[in-house]
């Protein structure tokens, strides 16, 4: 199996990622009297359905799936990836289909022209799978972006999500939404702490993961860990909505 790609860890790259949330912002300000949580799944492996969205549906909750169409039918470090039937089935069950790049490549390295071409190819592939609804939300693969790309995607998508953990309280950058990982280990405790914090300080928390299985990748969690997250969210009394529906709710509560 090939070594999973990771963005540069050079100091300059780390600094650029640190300041990116403050650049090319498309801000919405809001006031809500009940917390909102959005579950999202990236890429996505089929275990995200069997051990993820299937559980959410028992609570009548729905999620957002960010799809990189080029991964369809493959097997990688996240396990077996989705097939075309999964896309249409999830949509029919009320989940939201959103976009990645087709090949799940680093947008910061590709540049704007190549990234836009990858996005168009991904959308066309989803249409070929039977998903004909507009793709209104996008997530940067690996969370990799830059200010120029944020600006370029602003008119194409209603929201663009990154992987910087955090809770949106009173405001959110629609060009670079925060998202807290549901990963095994210390990061799971961090996610649980952020969920607990919603009880006393309302905000919009988006969560993301990849594979959900007994022996997860570094970027996934076990079924039991995912259940802990779900139980914790349920205890907050949060409104649980896919990204698009959460945005609609916030727009009704603009300030």
CA distance 132 to 134: 6
Phi/psi of residue 93, each to 5°? -85, 5
Mean pLDDT of the region 25-46: 97
Residue range 160-177, pLDDT digits in tens: 999 999 999 999 999 999
Q: Does residue 22 sit within a domain?
A: no
Q: Does residue 17 sit within a domain?
A: no
Kindly state the percentage of the chain with pLDDT values over 70.
93
CA distance 154 to 39: 22
Q: Tokens 């070929």 label which residue?
A: 128
CB 81 within 8 A of CB 43: yes
Residue range 185-222, pLDDT digits in tens: 999 999 999 999 999 999 999 999 999 999 999 999 99
Q: Does residue 9 sit within a domain?
A: no
Q: Does residue 11 sit within a domain?
A: no
164-176: burial string, b at 16+ Cβ within 10 Å, e else = bbbbbbeebbbbb
119: nearest Cα among 106, 102, 135: 102
pLDDT reading at 1 higher than 50: no
How many domains is the chain partitioned into structurally?
1
CA distance 227 to 205: 17
Q: Does residue 7 sit within a domain?
A: no
CB 137 within 8 A of CB 160: yes
The number of residues in the chain equals: 255
Specify the CATH number for the domain of residue 36: 3.20.20.370
- The pTM score is 0.93
Q: Does residue 44 sit within a domain?
A: yes
Residue range 217-237, pLDDT digits in tens: 999 999 999 999 999 999 999
Strand positions, DSSP E, the chain: 27-29, 36-43, 64-67, 75-76, 79-80, 96-99, 137-139, 159-161, 171-173, 180-181, 204-209, 239-240
Where in the sequence is the domain holding 214, given as residue range(s)?
29-251
Q: Does residue 40 sit within a domain?
A: yes
pLDDT reading at 9 higher than 90: no
pLDDT grade for 28, boundaries at 50, 70 and 90: very high
Residue range 75-85, pLDDT digits in tens: 999 999 999 99
Which tokens sit at 65?
């799936």
Q: Does residue 3 sit within a domain?
A: no
Which tokens sit at 55?
């559980």
């Amino acid at each position: 199996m090939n070594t999973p790609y990771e963005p540069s860890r050079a100091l300059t790259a780390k600094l650029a990622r640190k300041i990116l949330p403050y650049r090319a912002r498309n801000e919405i300000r809001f006031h809500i009297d009940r917390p909102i949580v959005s579950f999202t799944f990236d890429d996505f492996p089929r275990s995200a359905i069997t051990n993820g969205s299937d559980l959410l549906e028992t609570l009548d909750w729905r999620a957002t799936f960010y799809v990189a169409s080029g991964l369809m039918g493959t097997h990688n470090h996240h396990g077996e990836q989705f097939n075309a039937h999964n896309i249409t089935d999830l949509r029919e069950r009320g989940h939201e289909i959103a976009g990645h790049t087709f090949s799940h490549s680093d947008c910061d390295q590709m540049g704007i022209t190549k990234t836009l071409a990858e996005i168009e190819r991904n959308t066309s592939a989803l249409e070929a799978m039977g998903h004909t609804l507009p793709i209104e939300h996008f997530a940067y693969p690996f969370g990799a972006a830059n200010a120029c790309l944020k600006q370029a995607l602003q008119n194409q998508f209603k929201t663009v999500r990154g992987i910087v953990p955090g809770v949106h309280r009173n405001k959110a950058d629609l060009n670079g939404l925060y998202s807290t990982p549901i990963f095994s280990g210390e990061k799971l405790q961090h996610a649980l702490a952020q969920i607990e914090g919603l009880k006393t300080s309302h905000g919009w928390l988006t969560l993301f993961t990849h594979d959900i299985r007994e022996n997860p990748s570094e970027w996934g969690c076990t079924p039991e860990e995912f259940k802990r997250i779900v139980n914790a969210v349920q205890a907050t009394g949060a409104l649980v909505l896919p990204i698009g529906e959460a945005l609609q709710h916030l727009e009704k509560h603009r300030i």
